[in-house]
Structure formats: C-alpha cells, structure tokens
Amino acid sequence: MFLRKFTIAAACSVLLFVPSISVNAATFSEGEISQVQHFQKEYADLDKTSYDINNLYEVKPQLGANFSAGKIKQQYITTQLAYINYYRSLFGLPAIKTNAIANSNAQKTAAVMAAINADPFVNQHGLPTDMQPNYVSDSLWKLAQDTSETSNLNFNVANQSAGDVITDLITDHYNLTGTDTGHRAWILSTRLSSTGIGAAYGSNGYRYSVQKVLNVDDIFRVASQASVAYPSAGVFPVELAKGKNVAWSLYLSNKVYSGTPKVKITDMDTKKTYQATKVKNYSRNGYGNFKTVITYMPGKTPIISGHQYKIVIGNLYSYTFKLFKEDTSTTKEVTTTTGSTYQKGAVQQDSHLKSPFSKTNAKLWASFNINVKNSKTEHYFFDALKKGQWHQNFFLKRVLQVISK
C-alpha cells in the first residue's frame, strides 16, 4: 500500500486545527501524524490545575512545635506521576509507579525543608548547611537528609501545577549547577522503577518539592533500552527543545564513553549545519544510573516547529527527529516559564538502612575503600558517606563497573 505523506503545515491545518507553520517544513508520514496527535491529546488531557498553599493539602502540616508533615492531595501526586509518565512515553520508556513509603518520606522531607525555610539558592541535598530545629526528631532529621540526597528537588514561589514542576526538571533550565541535566537523567532513567512525591510551603512563600529518584534496587535492574537522546528520535515537542538554558543530551545505559565529542546539528529543511556549544561529559556523576551522560547546547541552531534535524555526536551516536507543537491551545511556540531553582538529583545513601540491599551496597562500597574494609555494619558505611567519602558519586560508579563485567 502506498504510504501517503503530508507536509506538517497541511497536517496541522487540516488535522490538528492550528495555523500552518512553514510551507517548506519536513514531511510527516501518516504514522508520524498519528503519533503527533496522540501526544497532543495526551498532553491536553493532563491536569493543569495550579496549586497554592490553600489547595495543596489534604491535611495541612504543622511546621513548628508538635511538628507534623501533613498530607498533600492525592490528585497532586496522581497528576505529577502522569506528567512523569507522559514525558517518559516521548522517549519510549516504560511507565513508573509511586511507592507509599517513598511518598511518605518525600512529604516528610518537603515539610522539614519548609519548616526551616531552606535556602533555595544553595545545595540542599542532605541539608548540609542547615541546623536541625528542636521540634524535629533525630530520626526525622536523618530521614530528611537521606531522602533529600536521593531526590530531585524543586523550589518555586509561583503557583505552579503539579506537572509544571516536572517540566522544570525535565528541561533542566533552572539548574543551579549548569548544563549537567541530572534532573532529566533521573526522570528518564532506563532503570527507574518507582518514585515518591512530596510538597510543602514554607513561611517564605516557597513550595518545596521532592521527587524521589534514586532507589538502591534500581542500580541492579536491566536497562529498558540502550540509549536516551534528548530531543528524542522520531517526533518531539518543540516546547521542550527550545528556551533559555535548555541543554540537549545523550544518555547511554551500558556503554562507557569518557571523551568529549564534537556535536553537529543539521536542519534537514534548510540544509544548514550548526556546531553545538558547551559540550560536556558528566558520565562520572552517575545521573540516572547511566554509564554515559553527554550534554550540549544547540548553539545558534534555529529551533523551528515542523522542521527535521539530524544530530551527529562524534562517532558515538547519530539520529534524526522532527519537531511538533505540543500545546495546541495557544499559538505561541515558546513555553512560558516561571522563575524557579532546584538542585541536581545527587547520588547518595538510601534511607532504608536495614534492607538487604543496603547491606550489599555497604559491603561493595567498603571493598573498594581501604579505609573501611574492616567495617562490619552498614551503618558505618552510611556514616562514612555523610563524612564526604562518596567523592564524585564514587560508589555508584564503581558498583556499575563491577556488575557490568
């Protein structure tokens, strides 16, 4: 059967009911048009409710004497998970679930950060510069330290939707540490199985959001696919590809690459080629349990809805993608963003100290460090990490090197 093709301009005006974009735009096959419509419908169906301190909670927290973490509305958790899985579907990644214990720990952590009005402009993983208030128990403070170490953190004064938080994290355009795209890597991890979600408002007006991303057992999972390129191959929303400080990236699940490749971007419609800028290799950080993490900026490349692009990343990887307009409710191509800041999802200890995995991880880590080879308990292992002995995510990197042999 002859496979008919349409220009994206015709597809948008006839099938998607938005203005045509370019008479010279890339052609989209019927299958691609169907996929675009599917993603547009999925996005349109996502809950866009904005939240503030008045509608976030099912049970309002007590952030002082007689401290209690409270409980956020289930719809907030459900919506945030739906956004995570929508974005994962753009890359062909399997859906993940929330975990009740992880949700509880994330909420307690968010409430602790809100109670102390944690500074949103400094690293808050592990609460390294914060003082434990007298109304927070030792066990709760340690849980907040452990959970914040293993989570994506987002701090925002705007009345965002539950999904806006995830959009911030996946575009990673407000990353305090630069273009490492660590938040994105954790959301798009090929080994991620579950997450936990929490949020709370401090008296300073910031919403402290916590998304659990590092699960000890995920380290040993088989990757669901070999690579994750951003923008993804096939069709991809233009809103996620462009914007101030939005880096593009390549993650490899099992292949180790330590170099810094040159990256070329070709607009297949205009036949012009551009050099990517700020190409960096963050592989040693272990983001998302990936073996290779490459990020780069598209430089002077015009990013246009309806155009097709070819990416060549040295001799490492090459692919093509076509951009489409995700949000058909507005004619604007550029996503409107609100000010926010958050920290990278750092690799650090898990809070379940008595689990079999924690014991295994303690033994593995200790075997690589002569200073703790005689350690007999997993508790010493976690205490050692607190003292800064996990330099450059050393433990995760070495574990992955061992199990890949």
DSSP string, 202-236: -TTS-EEEEEE---GGGGGSPPSSSEEEESPSEEE
The stretch 195-210 carries a mean pLDDT of: 97
Could you report how far apart the first and last alpha carbons of the chain are, in Å? 47
Task: Give tens-digit pLDDT for 182-195.
Answer: 999 999 999 999 99
Which tokens belong to 98? 């929330």
Q: Which residues pair with 195 in a beta bridge?
A: 98
Is the predicted pLDDT of residue 380 greater than 90, yes or no? Answer: no
Non-local CB neighbours of 182 within 8 Å, separated by 6+ positions: 172, 175, 282, 285, 287, 288, 344, 345, 346
pLDDT at 25: 58
From CA 306, how far away is CA 315, in angstroms rounded? 27
Kindly report the backbone phi and psi dihedral angles of residue 248, in degrees, each rounded to the nearest multiple of 5, phi listed first: -100, 165
Q: What's the pTM?
A: 0.79
- For residue 364, the surrounding DSSP H or E stretch is helix 356-367
Which runs of consecutive H residues, i.e. helices, occur in 178-294?
182-187, 238-241
Confidence label for 26 from pLDDT (cuts 50, 70 and 90)? low
pLDDT at 247: 97
The rounded percent of the chain whose pLDDT value lies above 90 is 68
Confidence label for 173 from pLDDT (cuts 50, 70 and 90)? confident
- Asked whether 122 and 146 are in contact (CB, 8 A), the reply is no
- Asked whether 56 and 201 are in contact (CB, 8 A), the reply is yes
Q: Which residues pair with 28 in a beta bridge?
A: 6
From CA 387, how far away is CA 375, in angstroms rounded? 15
Is the predicted pLDDT of residue 240 greater than 80, yes or no? Answer: yes
CA angle 214, 404, 348 (to 5 degrees): 25
The stretch 235-262 carries a mean pLDDT of: 96
The rounded percent of the chain whose pLDDT value lies above 70 is 74
- Asked whether 160 and 53 are in contact (CB, 8 A), the reply is no
| Burial (CB count within 10 angstroms: exposed 0-12, middle 13-18, buried 19+), residue 184 | buried
pLDDT at 264: 98
CA angle 221, 182, 170 (to 5 degrees): 95
Task: Give tens-digit pLDDT for 274-293.
Answer: 999 999 999 998 999 999 99
**Helix (DSSP H) and strand (DSSP E) numbers for the chain:** 11, 19
Based on its alpha-carbon atoms, the radius of gyration of the chain, rounded to whole angstroms, reads: 22
Kindly report the backbone phi and psi dihedral angles of residue 271, in degrees, each rounded to the nearest multiple of 5, phi listed first: 65, 20
- Asked whether 162 and 83 are in contact (CB, 8 A), the reply is yes
Q: Which residues pair with 236 in a beta bridge?
A: 323
| Cα dihedral sign, 393-95-179-386 | negative
Is the predicted pLDDT of residue 393 greater than 60, yes or no? Answer: no
Task: Give tens-digit pLDDT for 79-89.
Answer: 999 999 999 99
pLDDT at 178: 73
Q: Which fold has domain 30-324?
A: Pathogenesis-related Protein p14a (3.40.33)
Nearest one of 346, 370, 349, 360 to 402, comparing CA atoms = 360
Is the predicted pLDDT of residue 397 greater than 50, yes or no? Answer: no
pLDDT at 177: 67
- Mean of per-residue pLDDT scores for the chain: 81
Task: Give tens-digit pLDDT for 302-351.
Answer: 999 999 999 999 999 999 999 999 998 865 444 333 434 444 433 323 33
